[in-house]
Structure 1
């Protein structure tokens, strides 16, 4: 597995065009791999996340195979000064142990499935409120191999830092995604299950920038 970080240049027209549609960005990410390397494997699948601040636009990719982002550098980066950074993900995955605490960041598509009548297929609807989105994650952490320890006033140490609804065209239809970006602190409960969470993703819409959970050292308080 590999972890890749690439900074986009938001001043370029091609970058703005790409960022306007998760469908286009998905296509650009998948072009970083030959066709044989785009499908999920037992080790993991291609996951990506876009982190945007007023000062930086960063693309993170986790993948079973090493990507080649030459096309993105030429069209949306700084070709004369910088490329991308890819590092082995295995050393981090191998060091995970029960009881460890990590700071984390996750952009996900929190949804619920609703069946209006017995003869109609279920349909996914996005959770819209902060409470609904937080409860969605907390209700899944056990099966994802970790827990959220308490913070101030014994509340779970997780915050919804960003919320968005994205609408974009895909094959003649309009897709609507509800996005929530979570930040907080987690405690590893089952290292094997947690490794799979990190390499296979969380929730739905993984092809559109959702599901990639990344870790950082917990800062001393």
Structure 2
């Protein structure tokens, strides 16, 4: 069974929401220690979304078991929406069919291989909008979807953040983490339901522990037809 959890948080500066490292630790603490029988690839995914509400962010979590977010609510919960909502995600996953068209949102860490003296070197950030779009287009077939042919703007970059934060055990020297978090929105068409189910539950790209990789779907209303005559 897979679960989808939504929790509203206050965007006011605080120790939790201002640090991907702390929020990663808080999400991990919402679950019991990993069972040795759990598939290593079936991991917890999370994403912190800005919303149209100016004083509220949304924490989304996809997980094999329901989380206990009491400690998250105590540190950063929104006063008007206490608690969190967890629902079964499996019915949506099982309902995916080839050709279905849906809206999507994804925050990912797109990267590209840097070549040095003719050899593939370290991976660097895909920093331009064109590189970021190309990164997702290259991965879409293997992820079980394609941009919807019904929409001219089927794939857009709506946000680009540079996250820079320290990581390391308390009391020890910290290593600085620097990554690009890119939010994509648009419309997709399901090409491979099994592949898309895997993407929805295992994530896409790198930096999944820091709020990247979670793809979510929503119903897509039919695109308007052009006027006739």
TM-score normalized by structure 1?
Answer: 0.89
Length, aligned pairs only = 215
Q: CA deviation at 1:44?
A: 2.5
Q: CA deviation at 1:165?
A: 0.5
Distance in 1 of aligned mates of 2:50 and 2:36:
25
Structure 2 counterparts to residues 24-63 of structure 1, below 5 A: 24-36=22-34, 41=39, 44-53=42-51, 54-63=54-63
RMSD: 2.3
1:190 matched to 2:180: no
User: Where does the alignment leave 5 or more consecutive residues of structure 2 unmatched?
Assistant: 169-173, 225-229
Distance in 2 of aligned mates of 1:50 and 1:68:
17
1:36-62 per-position Cα deviation (integer Å, ceiling 9, x unaligned): 259962782100000014342110000
Q: CA deviation at 1:105?
A: 0.2
Paired residue for 2:159?
A: 162
Structure 1 residues 108, 156: CA separation in 2 closer, same or farther (over 3 Å shift)? same
Paired residue for 2:227?
A: none
1:208 matched to 2:210: yes
Q: CA deviation at 1:74?
A: 1.5
- Tell me if structure 2 keeps the 8 A contact 1:148–1:186: yes
Structure 2 counterparts to residues 86-105 of structure 1, below 5 A: 86-105=86-105
Distance in 2 of aligned mates of 1:143 and 1:156:
21
1:2 matched to 2:3: yes
User: Where does the alignment leave 5 or more consecutive residues of structure 1 unmatched?
Assistant: none
- Tell me if structure 2 keeps the 8 A contact 1:73–1:79: no
Structure 1 residues 38, 74: CA separation in 2 closer, same or farther (over 3 Å shift)? farther
TM-score normalized by structure 2?
Answer: 0.86
Structure 2 counterparts to residues 125-136 of structure 1, below 5 A: 125-136=124-135
